[in-house]
Every structure is written in C-alpha cells, then in structure tokens.
Amino acid sequence: MVVVDALRAGYEVFLSIDLKPGMTEEEVHARLQREFEAHPHQQLSTLLQGWVPATLADVLAGLSPIEPERRVHRIRADERADLVRLLKDFRWTLTGSLPIAAGMVTAGGVSLKEVDPVTFESRKVRGLYIVGELLDLAADTGGFNLQAAFSTGYLAGAAAALPGT
C-alpha cells in the first residue's frame, strides 16, 4: 500500500530512518560514551555535529529528553540510551501529503545506456557510479523515484565496496 493511500484509509503511518546504519546500537552506545568522556564539557548538539549535519544535530538535540544547555558529562546512562534509539530509529508520524498538483519529478540526466544496469558504474569512467536523479529516469509519483534513488544507491554502494573495484 502506498503511503498516501494508507493515510487516506485512516492508518497511522510512521517514517523511521537509521542515521547510523553502519553501526549496531551497541557500537553507537560505546562511541557516544567515548565521546562523552573525551569532550565532557560540550553541549549535546555540538557533539552530535560530528555525527550528523549541524542542522540535524540541533533537531536531534531538541527531540532528545536532554536539556539543550546541559553538558554531556551530566547526561545519565538512560538518557544516553534514549539518544542511541533516536540515532538508530529517527522516527516520526506522517500526517498527510501535498496534493498531486504539488508533486514533482525531474527528468533528464545520464542515459541508462551509459551505466552498467547491475552496478550503476559509468561505462565511460571506471570507478564513477551514477545513481538516483543523476540518471535519465523518471517514475510515477508516490515514492517510486525515491525508491529508484535508494535502490540504485544501494547497488552502486555494494559494487563500489567489492574488493578489486
């Protein structure tokens, strides 16, 4: 079911993003602990700027139960655990969508004939991977273009990470 259809049908829809997909919760917790010890007098949003973009760090700090002015050495273990959950499951409830007339998609870009369809590596420049809206690829609204961006990015990332590439 498409998100917009679920919302119209009265379902509660959540969006969740793992802001640290390369780390387990335990690894995030351990790294936070180390950084809290290494930078005890920093405020949370400042410390988080080493993890995520500054504007997102401010948002995360604001969403956490920790007062913005509190220094990290005063953050309790249970509060740190809440922060780990926020980084690994940044979640919010979707409440609606824009009308279809407000939808947009870009077209144009690198021809699909110029990339390997499995790895999305350029056929002209070895080691260059072309994904998402950089490709001449457009789909219907409803998340299909986002899915294409996520899928092509995943495949290109997996291919780029293979030994010998």
pLDDT per residue as tens digits for the range 127-159: 999 998 889 887 776 678 889 899 999 999 999
Burial per residue of 21-49, b for 16 or more beta-carbon CB atoms within 10 angstroms, e otherwise = eebeeeebbebbeebbeeeeebbbbbbbb
What is residue 133's predicted lDDT score, i.e. its pLDDT?
84
Rounded Cα distance between 39 and 64, Å, is: 19
pLDDT at 103 over 70: no
| Lowest mean pLDDT across 9-23, 25-39, 83-97, 101-115 | 101-115
Q: What percent of the chain has pLDDT over 90?
A: 59
Question: 139 near 148, Cβ under 8 Å?
Answer: yes
Q: pLDDT-derived band of residue 23, with 50, 70 and 90 as boundaries? A: very high
Rounded Cα distance between 21 and 8, Å, is: 31
Q: For residue 164, what are its two tokens?
A: 């010998």
CATH of the domain spanning 14-94:
1.10.8
DSSP 8-state code for residue 112: G
The residue ranges of every structural domain in the chain are 14-94, 100-161
What is residue 144's predicted lDDT score, i.e. its pLDDT?
83
